[in-house]
């Protein structure tokens, strides 16, 4: 931790600060410049650094505190240079093959789900996606079929051989959903729902952690650290767009987050171009871009009849458009030395 | 709902759309301009408007859908013009008196809590705040004392007569916390935690709903609608700053949200200048501003020793600075025809 | 400047860095922690710090560079603790009296301008505002009357005794506008138009520098530094709202910027609640808030007939509403020890 | 234009509005729903729609006005479906070949420029970039060599055969720079510098218009409309990242803007991954992504010695890394049916 003193700090203030830091077990280095004095505090590794930084910042003669260490050790790349590969129902994520997860936003009926599962499988997807418990901004919107939806997804898995991913919104549902599902999805609104993170951390199911719509990359990695801290290391991160001032798209897909996560963490990275754009017309282009930038997987909303979808109709692809996306993505994957 | 067609839409497309809308029970009006055709769809009030809008937007010849009705009826002002006044442990929020809630970010110990409670009471606060269950971005930070914290808050209430507000983060804790607390706080990270909203909606305790750090005012009102939809109308909204590109402050306090909520909703509005700024030096100025803009209450972090606080030290006021804030706020409240 | 090395930096890298820094004239302090090495570089005050920081950051074994000194010396408070008071056409800005500037967005005609000037004067405004050269997002919108507009403003000044402020968008117009106007306004789109900043810096006219709609407070102060660097110290800063994800308001008025500028700079601060909200219904509340937070002045759009205004009709107040605003603002100013 | 009335609007209000609209030459359609009345106003195509919308919005009984037509006709795709191909010094931009522009942020010396020009040419770039007039947030930073820089760029063109692009910041410099340069660049800070846009619109030089760092796609297209409105149709748009809350990258590169511009406009689209990320480690990944998403060109900062660069060292590639980028981009271009 580096501490920058205010110009009005006196010699007494400096001595008080040094005493305080030494009491906490820090080694202290002082550098006096022409205009500013800076104090480096090193060591004391077992205490809570964020808290201490805030305490020091409350000193009246302290201008600013700059932390030095990254606040995520388990999911960070510094101490775990090798990329993690996750096995989800027999499909590997994070290896050389690019994985495509596809399916409807919501499970609406058995027929719709089976029809979509067959279509995405035939186009080349290897994991089925579908929501049974749905978050919805409006209390008056469709909230999902619940356990009946899970049963339909399990049927679709039986029929097609595709493992499936589905969202868990409530810590109380983790056990139930983990019984059915191959991957647990944490949605963007729950990235900082810490009780839920701890609960999925207690399972040994793979987890896909979506980035909070206003979370920095660092906060996202700290959320993954919550899960890893409970012993579950099978975590993939999913970039799904962040909230900005632009309104033409539903979110702004942060393409740089893909190589940035690759720099900072050993976890696989998934791209969600459907929520990332909110417009079916842009989904293929952003899918190609994500693979070109190094994403390990895609998760794409596909619906046989978007005009009747109970949610996200405007961003869902029809099966024929999805087939075209798969072809395009295959070419781009080959160009970056991978396959689909 | 108003539907704007793409320039390439044909007469057949238009007829198909009209048929589709009539089947759903809408009355339809068509206006053909020189360059664009627009279709108004009126009625069909019992269905889910947001879903239908998304479905219609997925039509290939539709450029844009514009919704007309506000998606929050219970908490909106259109059908409930009178301001709501909430009684929380004997203190009225939303009436002519401005209410100040104050106390430490976290309950750390009995002594710290009792000392702070006595100090804020003597300065004029009428509700005590304090966290027992704490959300924390880092898994390595202090997470609160849990039920022991609630017991300490209850003791402080007994000692001072101040009712208290505390945060609930987990739907499984609602019953426990509601047994102790006078007001249930939903934090910014949980504004869109719908299972939690439903659970507090089932209680009859007053709820303070903080704005999500990247939520629009409209989404915030829809979150309140979740609570009201379960029969709990004792909701106050709390502006605590939104996330923007500015880094000098921890968040950007959206002062316009205060009169905006007053225009759109009948619920009382609370301002949190501590999280809204993240810097103790700015708390008084933003408190004065919030009251001048029409806030019904403030919630302020106070700690007897910010340099030892387990959380939020940098934004906590010492008791003497809080006393000064109360004096300043009192003058401003009087200037806008209210009292503290 | 503090330099944090990557974990993979070797002893050789460190020695190379030290050599490089010493060659540039820096004093160097090294602190080796358990996991990271940090290097403090002190001195060498005459070179360009921002450039050197970027160069050092490009070293492959450097993780991050943290600058220490604030990049604005002339407008910063550290070396000029006393608040600046500006005299603009006989009106003092930055003193104990709160100043209100008011008038139409655009000068549309002599009659409209004279009528508005008389109205705002009678309500208590002491400076007239009005645009003769107008920036407009659409090339098809009204672009202002140009020099004819300046002549009308000068007539209004003669008629009412109110000095006036008007915007300059083009470095080539500075001399012309400075001949007529009492204050030169730099608009939000031109905050980082450096040739224009230099040009107004060459005049000795008071300048009101609006914050760029996506500028941090630090960048804004650096823009002011451009003007001061040319010898013109009569600068006032104007907070007019920043761009965020919220769409209910046109911009998000950053109320914290008012006390923050007071902490960081000695320049007077003006609030523009008209652009800050974009909605006439919110203008009074945000005006009161700005004064309560410590603003030295307001700039408010007033139009006798908003429904016929050539620009900004939706955010302009009618004279009767403006009178009411003046009354409210007067009470709040008194509550914070000032007058209007 | 569609007008949504407030619930409290009376029949008289409605009649007044209809009268007002008819007077302006509009055809009017009224739709009365159960809870809201909406009014469609069609026609009157020659007036200023944005202004009228604002005037109507200022009516006290109007809740909201929704514009229908896109505010950019010349650069929009609706009336010009064919993609524009620009010829800049013999290089075609917007055709099937992907163009790479590369070079230093600033022209610092003849040697540095010639060395870089030779290196980027040998790696396959076909246009040289380099700044002679530089915008700089700090007044104390390097501001460019001015006309001497242009002369050096011209020498580099002579030596390598590469046409060059350079930035123009000041309307007074347009003529000078147009005499030397093959493409005029408008930087992000000047996207809404309307006098400058008009001035480059008067030339017949190709213009590259960077997106404002907080501009929506629609505002960006309107800025291009300013240039086209003066008769210069050789405009390319450059996505260079927008400002968001994320701080790990310098800007957030909006990958969706690339296909979005393709939907909305016929102009070629260029990607700037150097400013879009601010980190040399991310430049290749974002370059590949941009080409995969459909970009027509890249503009990349290359410096032989980033650790000595006078600007943007942290985001500049060394020639060997740039060569690697070219190889990677070539593969991705082939995968989407283009070549480099």
Note the pLDDT tens digit of each residue in B241-270.
999 999 999 999 999 999 999 999 999 999
Average pLDDT over every residue of B274-301: 97
Which pLDDT band holds residue B271 (cuts at 50, 70, 90)? very high
The whole-number average pLDDT for the span A197-217 is 97
Strand partners, B127: B101
pLDDT at A85: 98
Contact A289 D336 (CB under 8 A): no
The answer for residues whose C-beta is within 8 angstroms of residue C55's C-beta and 6 or more apart is D306, D307, D308, D309, D313
Indicate if the pLDDT at residue D97 is higher than 90: yes
Q: Is the pLDDT of residue C44 over 70?
A: no
Kind and range of the H or E element at A165? strand A164-167
The pLDDT value given to residue C70: 79
**Cβ neighbourhood burial of B45 (10 Å; 0-12, 13-18, 19+):** exposed
Q: Looking at chain A, which residue has its C-alpha nearest residue B280?
A: A58
pLDDT at A46 over 60: no
Residue with tokens 């004067």: C121
Which chains share 3+ C-beta pairs under 8 angstroms with B? A, C, D
Which chain A residues touch C if contact means CB-CB below 8 Å?
A: 2, 4, 7, 27, 29, 31-36, 38, 40, 42-43, 45, 66, 68-69, 78, 243-245, 247
pLDDT of residue C48: 66
Q: What is the pLDDT, as a whole number, of residue A74?
A: 93
C-alpha to C-alpha distance for C207 and C182, rounded to whole angstroms: 9
**Which residue do the tokens 């302090």 mark?**
C29
H helix intervals, chain C: 11-23, 49-57, 110-123, 147-160, 174-180, 194-202, 217-229, 257-264, 273-277, 280-293, 319-335
Average pLDDT over chain B, rounded to an integer: 93
Question: Among the listed ranges A269-273, B92-96, C311-315, which one has the minimum average pLDDT value?
Answer: C311-315
Q: Answer whether residue C298 shows pLDDT above 70.
A: yes
Q: What confidence category does residue C47 fall into, taking pLDDT thresholds of 50, 70 and 90?
A: low
Angstrom distances, CA of residue D83 to CA of D99, D207, D266, D296: 16, 16, 4, 11
Confidence of residue D164 (pLDDT cuts 50, 70, 90): very high
Higher pLDDT, A112 or C309: A112
- The verdict on a CB contact (< 8 Å) between C313 and D54 is yes
Beta bridge partners of A185: A167, A208
Categorize the per-residue pLDDT at A213 as very low, low, confident or very high, splitting at 50, 70 and 90.
Answer: very high
Neighbours of chain D (3+ CB pairs under 8 A): A, B, C
Minimal Cα distance from D330: which residue of A? A335
Cα D70 to Cα B35: distance, rounded to the nearest angstrom: 10
**C-beta of residue A261 within 8 angstroms of C-beta of residue D251:** no
Q: What percent of chain D has pLDDT over 90?
A: 73
Nearest Cα neighbor of A211 from A198, A224, A202 is: A224
Please return the burial class of D6, using the count of CB atoms within 10 Å of its CB with bins 0-12, 13-18 and 19+. middle
Q: Let me know: does D40 contact D29? Beta carbons within 8 Å.
A: yes
Average pLDDT of span D6-28 = 88
Distance CA C101, CA C299 (A): 5
Give the Cα separation of C134 and D50 in Å (integer): 15
- Domains of chain C, residue spans: 2-66, 86-335
State the pLDDT at residue C71.
82
Among C34, C38, C43, select the one facing A2 at the smallest CB separation.
Answer: C38
Shortest CA distance to C240 belongs to which of C200, C197, C281, C283?
C283
Whether the per-residue pLDDT at D23 is higher than 90: the answer is no
The answer to whether residue A47 scores a pLDDT higher than 60 is no
The greatest distance separating any two alpha carbons of chain D, rounded to the nearest whole angstrom, comes to: 76
**Residue D26, H or E segment:** strand D26-32
Sheet with A37-43: list strands edge to edge.
Answer: A26-32, A37-43, A2-5, A62-66
**Contact assignment for B288 to C288 by CB distance below 8 Å:** no
Rounded CA gap, C165 and C183, in Å? 5
Q: Are B194 and A71 in contact (CB < 8 Å)? A: no
Q: Taking CB atoms and an 8 Å cutoff, what residues of chain C touch D231?
A: none
Check B43 against D36: CB less than 8 A apart.
no
Query: Domain B2-66: what homologous superfamily?
Result: Phospho-2-dehydro-3-deoxyheptonate aldolase; domain 1 (3.30.70.1140)
Q: What is the pLDDT of residues C73-129, one digit of tens each?
A: 899 998 788 999 999 999 999 999 999 999 999 999 999 999 999 999 999 999 999
> What is the arithmetic mean of pLDDT over B283-307?
96
pLDDT at D48 over 70: no
| Section D18-47 average pLDDT | 79
Least confident of A319-333, C61-75, C110-124, D238-252: C61-75
The answer to whether the Cβ–Cβ distance between D252 and A249 falls below 8 Å is no
Question: For A49-69, what is each residue's pLDDT tens digit?
Answer: 667 887 888 888 888 888 877
Per-residue pLDDT at A237: 98
Rounded CA gap, C286 and C300, in Å?
Answer: 11
Q: Which single residue is written with the structure tokens 């109110």? A: C162
b/e string for C295-320 if b means 16 or more Cβ within 10 A?
bbbbbbbbbbbbbebbbbbbbbbbbe
Q: What is the ipTM of this complex?
A: 0.93
Q: Where are the alpha helices (DSSP H) in B104-214?
A: 110-123, 147-160, 174-180, 194-202
The β-bridge partners of A338 are none
Contact: D43, B32; criterion CB under 8 Å = no
Q: Is the pLDDT of residue C46 over 70?
A: no
The whole-number pLDDT of residue D6 equals 86
pLDDT at residue A24, as a whole number: 84
CB proximity list for A257: less than 8 A, separation 6 or greater: A211, A217, A239, A269, D246
Tokens of A210: 């979506």
pLDDT of res. B47: 55
Identify the pLDDT of residue C40. 84
Q: Provide the 3-class DSSP secondary structure of residue C176.
A: helix
Q: Burial code of A225-238, b = ≥16 C-beta within 10 A, e = fewer?
A: bbbbbeebbbbbbb
Tens-place pLDDT, residues B79-122: 788 999 999 999 999 999 999 999 999 999 999 999 999 999 99
Predicted pLDDT at D195: 95
Q: How far away is chain C from the Cα of A244, in angstroms, using its nearest Cα?
A: 5
The predicted pLDDT at position D135 comes to 86
Confidence at D58, pLDDT banded by 50, 70, 90: confident
**Main-chain phi, psi angles of D100, to 5 degrees:** -115, 125
- Angstrom distance (rounded) from CA B273 to CA B289: 10
- Examine the pLDDT at B69 and tell me if it is beyond 80: no
Distance CA B238, CA B241 (A): 9
Chain A: closest CA distance from residue C64 (Å): 9
Residues in chain D whose beta carbon is closer than 8 A to a beta carbon of chain A? 214, 216-218, 242, 244-249, 252-260, 262-263, 276-277, 281-282, 285-286, 288-294, 328, 331-332, 334-336
Q: How far is CA D257 from the centre of its chain?
A: 10
Please name which of B282, B262, B209 lies closest in space to residue B239, comparing C-alpha atoms. Answer: B209
The pLDDT score that the predictor gives to residue D187 is 97
C-chain residues near D140 (CB < 8 A): 48-50, 71
Residue B287 scores a pLDDT above 80: yes
Tell me the CATH class for A86-335. Answer: alpha beta
Instruction: Tell me if A137 and B306 make a contact (CB, 8 A cut-off).
Output: no
Give A182's strand partners: none
Q: For residue A332, list chain D residues with Cβ-Cβ distance below 8 A.
A: 292, 332, 335-336
The CA distance from A174 to D318, in Å, is: 49
User: What pLDDT is recorded for position A190?
Assistant: 97
Residues of B in contact with C252 (CB under 8 A): 242, 244, 252, 254, 256
**Partner residue facing D316 (CB), from C58, C135, C140:** C58
pLDDT value of position B259: 98
CA distance A117 to A156: 6
Min Cα separation A153/chain D (Å): 31
Q: Which of the pair, B69 or A108, is modelled with greater confidence?
A: A108
Q: What is the pLDDT of residue B139?
A: 82
- Contact flag D45-B34 (C-beta cutoff 8 Å): yes
Strands C164-167 and C183-186: parallel
Alpha-carbon gap, residue C228 to A184, rounded angstroms: 57
Mean residue pLDDT of chain A comes to 93
Structure tokens at C93: 């800005």
Q: What is the pLDDT of residue B45?
A: 53
Q: What is the DSSP string of B170-202?
A: -GGGHHHHHHH-SEEEEPGGGTT-HHHHHHHHH
pLDDT in tens, D106-146: 999 999 999 999 999 999 999 999 999 988 878 877 889 99
Residue A196 Cα to chain centre, angstroms = 14
* Contact residues of C toward A, CB < 8 A: 2, 4, 7, 27, 29, 31-36, 38, 40, 42-43, 45, 66, 68-69, 78, 243-245, 247
User: Which of D293, D330, D331 to mutate to test binding with chain A, by most A CBs within 10 Å of its CB?
Assistant: D293
pLDDT in tens, C193-250: 999 999 999 999 999 999 999 999 999 999 999 999 999 999 999 999 999 999 999 9
Mean pLDDT score of chain D, rounded to an integer?
Answer: 93
User: Å from A132 to nearest chain B CA?
Assistant: 14
B2 in Cβ contact with B38 (< 8 Å): yes
Q: Please report residues of D whose CB lies closer than 8 A to that of A294.
A: 285
Share of chain C above pLDDT 70, in %: 98
Segment among A303-307, A310-314, D122-126 with least mean pLDDT = A310-314
Query: Is residue A103's pLDDT more than 90?
Result: yes
Count how many pairs of residues, chain A against chain D, have C-beta atoms within 8 Å.
126
């Amino acid at each position: 931790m580096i501490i920058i003193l205010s110009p009005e700090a006196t010699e007494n203030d400096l001595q008080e600060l040094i005493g305080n830091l030494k009491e906490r077990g820090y080694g202290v280095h002082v550098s006096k410049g022409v205009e500013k004095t800076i104090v480096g505090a090193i060591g004391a590794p077992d205490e809570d650094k964020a808290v201490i930084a805030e305490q020091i910042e409350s000193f009246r003669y302290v201008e600013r505190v700059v932390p030095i260490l990254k606040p995520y050790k388990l999911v960070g790349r510094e101490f775990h240079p090798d990329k993690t590969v996750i096995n989800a129902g027999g499909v590997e994520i994070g290896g050389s093959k690019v994985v495509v997860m596809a399916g409807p936003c919501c499970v609406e009926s058995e027929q719709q789900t089976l029809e979509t599962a067959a279509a995405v499988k035939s186009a080349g997807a290897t994991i089925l996606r579908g929501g049974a418990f749905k978050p919805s901004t409006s209390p008056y919107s469709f909230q999902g079929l619940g356990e009946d939806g899970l049963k339909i997804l399990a049927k679709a898995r039986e029929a097609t051989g595709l493992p499936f991913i589905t969202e868990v919104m409530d810590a109380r549902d983790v056990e139930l959903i983990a019984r059915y599902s191959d991957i647990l999805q944490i949605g963007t609104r729950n990235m900082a729902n810490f009780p839920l993170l701890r609960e999925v951390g207690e399972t040994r199911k793979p987890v896909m952690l979506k980035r909070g719509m206003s979370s920095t990359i660092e906060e996202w990695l700290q959320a993954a650290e919550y899960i890893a801290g409970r012993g579950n290391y099978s975590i993939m991160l999913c970039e799904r767009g962040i909230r900005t001032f632009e309104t033409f798209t539903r979110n702004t897909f942060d393409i740089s987050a893909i190589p940035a996560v690759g720099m900072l963490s050993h976890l696989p990275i998934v791209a969600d171009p459907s929520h990332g754009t909110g417009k079916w017309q842009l989904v293929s282009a952003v899918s190609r871009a994500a693979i070109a930038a190094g994403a390990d997987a895609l998760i794409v909303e596909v619906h046989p009849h978007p005009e009747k979808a109970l949610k996200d109709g405007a961003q869902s692809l029809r099966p024929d458009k999805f087939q075209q996306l798969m072809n395009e993505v295959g070419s781009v994957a080959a160009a970056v030395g991978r396959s689909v």
